[in-house]
């Protein structure tokens, strides 16, 4: 291969690599409809412990602000999804469905500063893998 062709292939490689790097933003997306439904589910299933404003609960830790960021932001959404399905609401973990947990996560992301968009948050562990909790 000539030096010229080598340079050309290097340039092509660099081009091919750039879209991959653009995908480095793995922050999970969600819709406003999901966040709205999540807000309702939160009121009915979570607020009695975590508080109506997410940080004023008598029986559960704050779900917004510094603590939520420290615990979850930048980590896999799958971890949060699995945690919620296994543990929340405590003693009543069978009442909510997968899509309802996705809506609750959308609500929590929005409450922590993320913006809704037009891409819904998936509700299966497979589809969530690779996505991270928005920072």
**Residues near ligand HEC (CB under 6 A):** 45-46, 48-50, 59-61, 63, 67-68, 71, 84, 88-90, 104
DSSP letters of 19-39? HHHHTT--B---BHHHHHHHH
24 vs 90 by CB, closer to ligand HEC? 90
Q: How far is the CB of 44 from ligand HEC (least distance, A)?
A: 8
Q: How far is the CB of 50 from ligand HEC (least distance, A)?
A: 6
Q: Residues 133, 72: contact at Cβ < 8 Å?
A: yes
31 vs 62 by CB, closer to ligand HEC? 62
Q: How far is the CB of 101 from ligand HEC (least distance, A)?
A: 8
Q: Is 106 helix (H, G, I), strand (E, B) or coil?
A: helix
Q: How far is the CB of 67 from ligand HEC (least distance, A)?
A: 5
C-alpha distance from residue 21 to each of 16, 17, 64, 128 (Å): 10, 7, 30, 19
The angle at the Cα of 61, spanning 32 to 108, to the nearest 5 degrees, equals 10
31 vs 71 by CB, closer to ligand HEC? 71
């Amino acid at each position: 291969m000539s030096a010229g062709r080598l340079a050309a292939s290097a340039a092509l490689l660099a081009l091919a690599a750039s879209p991959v790097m653009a995908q480095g933003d793995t922050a999970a997306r969600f819709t406003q409809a999901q966040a709205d439904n999540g807000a309702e589910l939160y009121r009915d299933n979570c607020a009695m412990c975590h508080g109506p404003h997410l940080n004023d609960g008598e029986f559960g830790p704050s779900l917004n602000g510094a603590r939520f960021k420290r615990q979850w932001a930048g980590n896999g959404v799958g971890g949060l999804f699995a945690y919620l399905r296994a543990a929340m609401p405590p003693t009543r973990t069978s009442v909510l469905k997968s899509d309802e947990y996705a809506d609750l996560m959308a609500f929590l992301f929005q409450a922590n500063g993320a913006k809704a968009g037009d891409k819904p948050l998936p509700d299966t562990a497979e589809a969530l893998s690779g996505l991270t909790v928005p920072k």
